[in-house]
């Protein structure tokens, strides 16, 4: 049986000002629990600027519906020791899905962001699946079954990230027309039978880093996602920046080489044509076909078409000189673009993640070294280059707080 959402605990007649105020107060309380953790009634009264009796009544309703729990007794500030309340991990589950070009990651979490079961990776995605919607439905059904769950077992919602050009206003992908011209939110909800919230993959990665990774203590950070393509997400003054139409962050399509190669976007010399996983793989295939010595060829059993970014990274870690040179050149080209970002945004930190994070120091060191060449020293010394330790899970992890936030305290 589907759980009644906190904001729907009261009559939906918004013409009733009292009911409307209660809904807003519930949303604020639930948001406080989610972002700041467990609180006493007195804490909540101070935070929301409401009376203790008013907060107590709402806490009682949230307890009754199973949204929160009593987590014991806190320290006394004079008088009786207060009870501590917080969101109940038993209130329901959230699915996090990273729908990528060549793979799909799926995880199950509770509303306190605790992971349940293993994160599942399927080697099918938007560009190598004959029917992505059917595949997605079958994969989610499989994950639920393996965790002894059904759609009716308090599956509250799902967050899903997708790559490419994504119109956040209409929730439509321009890069993957096979997903349809209607809202992806509507498409996925019809397919799965519960609320779904869709976000761009690189913004999901930034959220994952902010909630689960090293970006928790920063207010102005940039997240660069390097995989088959290159994306950028910006957290400015603590808020995720999307731009007017939601397209902010097409970092891979800034021009680096004036007379460079044609990019799939239709422009010439984009950063993606020289520094993306797709570009590096293409160069490796061409060089090896032309006689370049490298054990990369052994890693793909002589089939050059199987060379990808992961192959190059693994081979570089084995000490292959050519693969190391590819990583160094990739790092230099990325640093040319990153220098522009440093000059424009003066961020506290730039996080480098996605598939490239597996390269560790083989990519981080060249980026840092070459920033000296392309960046004003005073700005370069004021920014940290940090490799994401969430690596390829960041996007999937970021869909979880994105979905929970949209479900429990929407329109904030």
CATH number of 93-207+395-408: 3.30.420.40
Q: Report the pLDDT averaged over residues 350-366.
A: 93
- Residue 184: its pLDDT value, please? 95
**Rounded Cα gap, residues 401 and 216, in angstroms:** 13
Q: Report the pLDDT averaged over residues 252-257.
A: 92
- How do the domains of the chain map onto residue ranges? 6-87, 93-207+395-408, 217-389
**Rounded Cα gap, residues 341 and 336, in angstroms:** 9
Q: Cβ contacts of residue 328 below 8 Å, gap of 6+?
A: 362, 366
The radius of gyration of the chain from alpha carbons, rounded to an integer in Å, stands at 24
87 in Cβ contact with 33 (< 8 Å): yes
Q: Report the pLDDT averaged over residues 26-44.
A: 94
What is the overall mean pLDDT for the chain?
91
Q: Report the pLDDT averaged over residues 92-108.
A: 94
Same CATH fold, 217-389 and 6-87?
no
Q: How far apart are the first and last CA of the chain?
A: 28
Written as six digits, the tokens of 203 are: 């913004």
H-assigned helices in 174-291: 184-192, 201-212, 272-275, 277-289
Residue 233: CB atoms within 10 A of its CB come to 29
Chain length of the chain: 412
Q: Report the pLDDT averaged over residues 224-251.
A: 89
- Residue 6: its pLDDT value, please? 86
334 in Cβ contact with 224 (< 8 Å): yes
Say which CATH class 217-389 falls into: alpha beta
Per cent of the chain over pLDDT 90 is 73
User: Which of the four pLDDT bands, split at 50, 70 and 90, describes residue 139?
Assistant: very high
User: Which of the four pLDDT bands, split at 50, 70 and 90, describes residue 15?
Assistant: low
- Residue 358: its pLDDT value, please? 92
**Rounded Cα gap, residues 215 and 162, in angstroms:** 22
Quickly name the fold that domain 6-87 has.
Answer: Arc Repressor Mutant, subunit A (1.10.10)
């Amino acid at each position: 049986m589907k759980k009644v959402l906190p904001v729907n605990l009261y009559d939906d007649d918004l013409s009733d000002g009292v009911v409307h105020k209660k809904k807003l107060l519930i949303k604020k309380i639930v948001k406080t629990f989610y972002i700041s953790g467990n609180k006493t009634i007195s804490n909540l009264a101070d935070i929301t600027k409401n009376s203790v009796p008013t907060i107590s009544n709402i806490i009682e309703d949230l307890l009754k519906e199973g949204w929160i729990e009593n987590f014991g007794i806190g320290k006394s500030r004079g008088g009786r020791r207060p009870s501590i309340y917080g969101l109940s991990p038993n209130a329901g589950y959230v699915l996090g899905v990273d729908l990528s070009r060549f793979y799909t990651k799926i995880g199950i979490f509770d509303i306190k962001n605790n992971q349940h079961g293993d994160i599942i990776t399927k080697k099918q995605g938007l560009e190598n699946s004959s029917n992505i919607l059917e595949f997605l439905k079958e994969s989610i059904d499989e994950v639920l079954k393996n965790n002894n769950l059904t759609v009716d077992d308090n599956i509250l919602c799902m967050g899903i990230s997708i790559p490419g050009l994504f119109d956040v206003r209409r929730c439509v992908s321009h890069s993957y027309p096979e997903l349809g011209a209607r809202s992806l939110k509507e498409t996925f909800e019809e397919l799965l039978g519960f609320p779904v919230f869709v976000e761009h993959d690189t913004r999901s990665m930034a959220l994952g880093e902010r909630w689960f990774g090293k970006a928790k203590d920063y207010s102005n950070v940039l997240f660069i996602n390097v995989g088959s393509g290159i994306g950028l997400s910006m957290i400015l003054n603590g808020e995720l920046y999307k731009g007017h139409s939601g397209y902010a962050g097409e970092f891979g399509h800034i021009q680096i080489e004036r007379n460079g190669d044609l990019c799939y976007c239709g422009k010439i010399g984009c950063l993606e044509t020289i520094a993306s996983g797709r570009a590096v793989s293409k160069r490796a295939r061409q060089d090896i076909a032309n006689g370049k010595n490298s054990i990369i060829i052994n890693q793909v059993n002589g089939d050059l078409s199987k060379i990808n970014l992961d192959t190059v990274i693994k081979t570089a870690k084995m000490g292959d000189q050519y693969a190391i040179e590819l990583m160094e050149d990739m790092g230099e080209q990325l640093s040319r673009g990153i220098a522009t970002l440093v000059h424009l945004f003066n961020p506290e930190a730039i996080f480098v993640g996605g598939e490239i994070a597996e390269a560790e120091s083989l990519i981080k060191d060249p980026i840092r070294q070459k920033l000296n060449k392309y960046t004003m020293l005073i700005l370069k010394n004021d920014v940290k280059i940090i490799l994401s330790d969430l690596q390829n899970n960041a996007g999937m992890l970021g869909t979880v707080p994105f979905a929970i936030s949209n479900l429990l305290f929407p329109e904030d």
